[in-house]
Structures are given as C-alpha cells and as structure tokens.
Structure 1
Amino acid sequence: MFQTTSYTGTKEENYNLMIKQLRALLEGESNQIANLSNASALLNQFLERVNWVGFYLTEGNELVLGPFQGLPACVRIPFGRGVCGTAASEKKTQRIADVHAFPGHIACDAASQSEIVIPLIKDGQVFGVLDIDSPEKDRFDEIDEKMLEAFAFALVEHLQ
C-alpha cells in the first residue's frame, strides 16, 4: 500500500522519489480513472504553493475535465484556447509565469496566478493534459517543467 514519504532531498531528488511513488501506484492497475485520480492526488500532496492539480482528457477537438484536486473547474476547453488548449494543440508544455498576461487565458479560479500544462501524448496523439495552477506568480521553474514532463511520461506509459 502507498505510504506518505518525507521529501528531504534536492528538488530533483524529491521529484524522482515522487515519480517512483507514481510508478508503484500504477503498477498492476489498468483503470484510467483510478490512475489519473491517484496521480492528481500524489501531485497535490507533493507540490507546495498550488491551488489546482488535475487532468483534462481529449474528446474530439476539445479537452474535457478529468480527475483533479482543487475547486470546481471549467468542464470543456477547445483545442487552441487558453493555456490547456494551447498545450494540447501545440503538443508542447506551457509554463506561464503570469496567467493574466497570457492571451485568451481561461480563468476558472480567480486565485490562480501562474500555470504549467504538460500535454499527455500517446502514440503521437494528445490523450489529454496535466494542468497545475498556483496562486503565486512565476511559481514554476525549469526544474519543475523537466520533472513534471518526466512524471507525465511515466503516467502515459501506464494509460490504455
């Protein structure tokens, strides 16, 4: 069973430990909702200074709200709109220091100031996105981006 671990190493060491925990949570489980739910809960427990962690899943040409931790959120986001839709349409991580400066930002939670969105790509197609919001401007750095991309890669390996 999963046990809460104390994160006392460097930022990268802590991320690597969390990714190891993710792999343990996913091992032997094929249910997509269960895996995404545990992944969002793990990230929410691990990350500090965030107010929303979750997934949007591809349905046609839009993203539909999936498992998450945080306040109620926007349910549907068209590809190309907002930070999530841009990440999905460009198949590229979006690390936004100030969401209010992002053209077309969709404000689901007025408290959010910065955001990082990592596309989940399987077999060359965008399966969905991992979306993380923070109430602080410029919350996410290059290490967060690199390690959250590694987290997303480990997750996608287990999704059906």
Structure 2
Amino acid sequence: MLDILRPKISAIITTNKGANAKLQDICNLLKTTIDHYDWVGFYFKNGDRRELKLGPYAGEPTDHALIPFGKGICGQVAESNKNFVVPDVQAQDNYIACSITVKAEIVVPLFVNGENIGQIDIDSNTPDPFTEADERFLEFVNSEVAKIL
C-alpha cells in the first residue's frame, strides 16, 4: 500500500497549488488511504521560538496548536532530530494526549538543507500499528515536502 502512494505524493508536490494546499492534500490522502492513520498533520518550527506550530492536518481538531520543544512526542523530535515511534502512548511519561482514542503515534522530522524545520505527526487508534515501512514511507513524504519549502 505505501509504495502505491509514493507516486501520488510526488504528483501532489508537482501541482500548481500553494505549499499549504499541497500539505493539506497529503494529509487528506494519508488519512483516507491508510487505515491506521487516524490523524495526520504537520508541525513547523515557530519562527525563532523554541516551539512548534500546527500546520495543515486531517482528522479531529486538536487543542495543541503550539507545542514547546521537549514536550510530548513532537517536542522531543524537535530536539532529537530523530524519528520517534510510540507503540503505546500510555506507556510514555512525556506524552500530550490529543484524544482518548489515540493508542500509538509516529513522528518523523522534516529537514530542509539539513535543518529540522518541522515534522509529520501521525496518531493511530490502533495499538502498535507502525512498522519500519511506515518510517521509511514518512521519510520519503518529508523528502518530497522539503522540495516545496
């Protein structure tokens, strides 16, 4: 399934739409196509502040429009520059609950010219659904997104 989506992601990147519209299209595609992707969104570094700001997303609205570096899974990835796969969010001490239905989360940093400028964040209502294939796919998504930022 993930390999089938790669050309669709590349096609979205090459449309004549603006960057935010392309990001929204990617979020919508991933959420509607992959069963265990229940919330898909992008967070970006908020100027010179040590916080992330919510960008385009698909799924239930979230109160977490701003996340300080170091807080929650997203905030930890902002500091570590490494993928973070959480098979069971309840087992994490430093987790920001977005919804009681979320069971697992994966966050993959987004680099432009070697700098971590944001991330893609996926929440799942399925326990432990994310594999190495999800990580590689989301790294690909971010490499495509980096071309338009």
- Is the TM-score greater than 0.5? yes
1:62 aligns with 2:51: yes
Name the SS of the counterpart of 1:68 in structure 2: strand
User: Quick check: 1:53 aligned with 2:40?
Assistant: yes
Instruction: Give the superposition deviation at 1:117.
Output: 0.4
Please give the per-residue CA displacement for 1:72-122, whole angstroms capped at 9, x wherever unaligned: 111110111111111111111101101111121000111101000011111
Instruction: State yes or no: 1:19 paired with 2:19.
Output: no
Partner of 1:132: 122
Match of 2:95, SS? coil
Summarize the Cα distance change of 1:153–1:86 in structure 2 as closer, same or farther, 3 Å threshold.
Answer: same
In the superposition, the TM-score normalised over structure 2's length comes to 0.91
Q: Which residue does 1:144 correspond to in 2?
A: 134
Q: What is the rounded CA distance, in whole Å, between the counterparts of 1:22 and 1:50 in structure 2? A: 16
CA displacement at 1:23 relative to structure 2: 0.9
Equivalent position to 2:18, from 24, 31, 35? 31
- Match of 1:115, SS? strand
Matched residues in 1 for 2:30 and 2:119: separation? 14
Whether the aligned pair in 2 keeps the contact of 1:19 and 1:154 (CA below 8 Å) is no
- In structure 2, what residue type is equivalent to 1:29? N
Q: Structure 1-normalised TM-score?
A: 0.85
Shift of 1:53: 0.7
Percent identity over paired residues: 34
Aligned-residue Cα RMSD (Å) equals: 1.3
Number of residue-to-residue matches in the alignment: 146
Mark the CA change 1:29 to 1:126 in structure 2 (over 3 Å): closer, same or farther: farther
Partner of 2:30: 43
SS in 1 for 2:134: helix
Q: Where do 5+ consecutive residues of structure 1 fail to align?
A: 1-13
Residue 6 of structure 1 aligns with which residue?
Answer: none
The Cα shift of 1:31 comes to: 2.0
| Equivalent residue number for residue 66 of structure 2 | 76
Whichever residue aligns with residue 45 of structure 2, its letter is T
